[in-house]
Amino acid sequence: GVLLMFYYVPSVDSAYQDIAALETNVKFGLLMRNMHRWTAHAMVILVFLHMMRVFYTGAYKPPREFNWVVGVILLVLTLVLSFTGYLLPWDQLALWAVTVGHGIGGSAPFFGDETQLIVFGGFEVGPSTLIRFYTLHVIALPLIAAVFMAVHFWRIRRDGGMARPL
C-alpha cells in the first residue's frame, strides 16, 4: 500500500489516470496493485475464517468475551478498509458501488443525513468523498486497527492463549 501511494493522487481529475499509469508505465506496477488487492481479499477471508473458528470452538465465552467484541470490531474495520479502498481507483465500478453505499448510509434512521455529510462529504459522491475515503484508508483506519490488534493480542496473552488447540 505504501508503494502505491508514491504513484497515486486522490484527485477526481487524476485518480483513474494514476492507476492506469501505475499498471502500464511503472515496472511491476500491475503486480504491485494486484498484490495489494489480492492480499486485501485474503485478509477479509482469513478474518472471517478466524471468526468462524473462534465461534465454533466457543472461544468467545467467558473469560474471553471482551476479546470477542474486540475481534468483531476488527472484522468491521477490515470490511470498512476494503470499502474505502474500493473507491480509490475512481472508475465506474467503484463509483457506483460507493453510490450504493452512500444511499445505504443516507437511509439510516435518525442519523442518515449526518452519515452522508461526515463520511461521504455531502449528499453526492464527489471529490470530498474521494479525499475522505483516501484519508480513512491510509491513515485513520490502519491506526485504529493497529490499536485494536494490540489490545486483541494483549487479551489473548492475558486470557491464557487460545481456548482449545486446533
Instruction: Note the pLDDT tens digit of each residue in 64-106.
Output: 999 999 999 999 999 999 999 999 999 999 999 999 999 999 9
Helices within the chain (DSSP H only): 2-5, 15-25, 29-56, 65-87, 92-106, 112-119, 127-135, 141-158
Q: How confident is the model at residue 28 (pLDDT cuts 50, 70, 90)?
A: very high
pLDDT of 7: 95
User: Taking residues 117-138, what's their average pLDDT?
Assistant: 95
The verdict on residue 145 lying in a domain is: yes
Q: How confident is the model at residue 161 (pLDDT cuts 50, 70, 90)?
A: confident
User: What domain count does the chain have?
Assistant: 1
Give me the residue label for grid cell 493480542: 153
Answer for the pair 151, 70: CB distance below 8 angstroms, yes or no: yes
Of 43, 3, 37, nearest in space to 149 by CA: 43
| pLDDT above 90: residue 162 | no
The verdict on residue 165 lying in a domain is: no
Q: Is the pTM of this model over 0.85?
A: yes
The verdict on residue 21 lying in a domain is: no
The verdict on residue 26 lying in a domain is: no
The verdict on residue 89 lying in a domain is: yes
The verdict on residue 2 lying in a domain is: no
pLDDT of 60: 92
Residue 54's CATH number: 1.20.810.10
